[in-house]
Amino acid sequence: MTHDPLLDLMPPNRRTPGRTLVMGILNVTPDSFSDGGRYLDADAAVRHGLQMADEGADILDVGGESTRPGAEAVSADEEMARVLPVVEALARASNLAISIDTYKASVAREALRLGARMVNDVSGLRFDPELAATAAERDAYLVVMHSVHTPATMQQSPHYNDLLGEVCGFLRRQAAAAEIAGVRRSRILVDPGIGFGKTLEHNLELLRRLPEVAAIGYPVLVGVSRKSFIGRILDDAPPQERLEGTISANVLSVANGARVVRVHDIAPVVKATRVADAVLGRR
Q: Give the active site residues.
A: 227, 262
CA-CA distances (angstroms) from residue 195 to 25, 142, 150, 200, 242?
16, 20, 12, 8, 15
User: Do residues 220 and 206 make contact, with C-beta atoms less than 8 angstroms apart?
Assistant: no
Residues 241-273 as b/e (b if ≥16 CB within 10 A, e otherwise) read ebbebbbebbbbbbebbbbbbbbbbbeebbebb
Task: Give the C-alpha separation, 191 to 188, whole Å.
Answer: 10
CA atoms within a 13 Å half-sphere pointing along the CA-CB vector of 192: 33
Residue 165's Cβ-side half-sphere holds a number of Cα atoms within 13 Å equal to 4
The neighbouring-strand residues paired with 220 are 190, 258
| CB 171, CB 213: distance < 8 Å | yes
